[in-house]
Chains A and B, each alone.
Chain A
Amino acid sequence: MTDRDWVRCAQDGDEEAFAQLVRRHSGGLHRAVARILADDSEAWDVVQMAFLKAWQRLDRYDPRYKFSTWLYRIGTNLAIDLLRSRSSRERIHKTHTEHRLRLVGAGEGAGSRADTNEADGILGQLVGVLTPQQRSAFVLREMQGLDTAEVAEVLGCSATTVRNHIFQARKALRGEMRLRFPEYLPASERG
């Protein structure tokens, strides 16, 4: 069955049909939200809230769009609200200090290890330099691989604004990585 079939059943009040949608999309949504929030467990709370909101608003779902896009929109908005409401400065600083300790001696061949913990760990420390919108756009586009049009739909902005968010985010991250993770610079620039 497709997402639309499950959605139709869920709109008729079928809870099990909606549970199928949760099983199908919670993993992907969690990955995106966890990267935006830089917090794995908090991301599960947001994912649950997003599905609950989706259930409550199922009658407003427009089948012209992908269910996943609509769901990502709800989840991303919740994550952005959370980012705006919490004062994460201290937490990011704390995580940064801990991660620096783990990275001691990890300078050689840095680019060759594209493992999950490495990229997600570094992003977790650097996302604080990005605005919630830039974070969301960068994660959805660069890490989750969504199309520009999809990201625009999720964030409720134009494709041009998405490109601008990505450009600004990349610029800010590049600058921070040069300062905080010089092991990722080309050998000629490391000094």
Chain B
Amino acid sequence: MNCTEFRELLGSYLEESLTEERRRMFRRHLCECTSCRERAVSEDPTLLFAAAPETPVSQADIEGCAAAVTAQIRQQRLARGLRRRRHPWLAVAAAVMIMIAGGLSWKVMLGGVETSIPTAAEIHLQDDARSIPPTVEVEMTGEDVRVYQFAADEDDDTAVYFVVNPGMEL
């Protein structure tokens, strides 16, 4: 595009009536020809913006942007992966455990004595201590059989009888 054509097309450019191709040629001439640019800007100062060259962007800024975006993508993926691994039943199990612990704590508070939950072995020992030693109720000589009665001190009505072969006793 020469300077004469440029001047002829100035009005059409401002009215947005040029084809895209003619428009590109007009803009190229505006950037390249100092005298035409001076004249055009003096006629319409907004043409200063069309003639503005591209602001240089440093490679460091671009690399920094790429690194930041990649890091955020990885962070999002990691967060999404962690969310997937969590299962809803774990929350339910945790809630049940809390309720049980709460209930036991409440029971202990009401009891006012026990401060910890006894283990199965402790319960067994406690039961042994409370029980009276087994007594041989019936010695059936010649029959190779012994009958044992177990009864608690507190409850004389209840007794458990075992019929044992003495050869098998420990």
Contacts and interface: CB of A to CB of B under 8 A. Distances in A.
Interface in A137-191: 138, 142-143, 145, 147-148, 163, 166-167, 170, 173-174, 177-178, 181, 184-187
B83 to A, nearest CB: 15
Q: DSSP majority for the B interface? A: helix
B49 A174 contact: no
Interface residues of B, number: 39
Interface residues of A, number: 49
A18 interface: yes
Interface stretch (B68-76, B124-132, B135-143, B160-168): B68-76
A111 B41 CA distance: 6
Nearest to B72: A52
A112 interface: yes
Interface stretch (A80-88, A94-102, A117-125): A117-125
B16 to A, nearest CB: 5
B146 interface: no
A161 to B, nearest CB: 12
A185 B44 CA distance: 8
Interface in B48-76: 48-57, 61-63, 65-66, 68-70, 72-74, 76
B29 interface: no
A26 interface: yes
B63 A15 contact: no
Interface of B: 14, 16, 20, 24, 27, 31, 34, 37-46, 48-57, 61-63, 65-66, 68-70, 72-74, 76
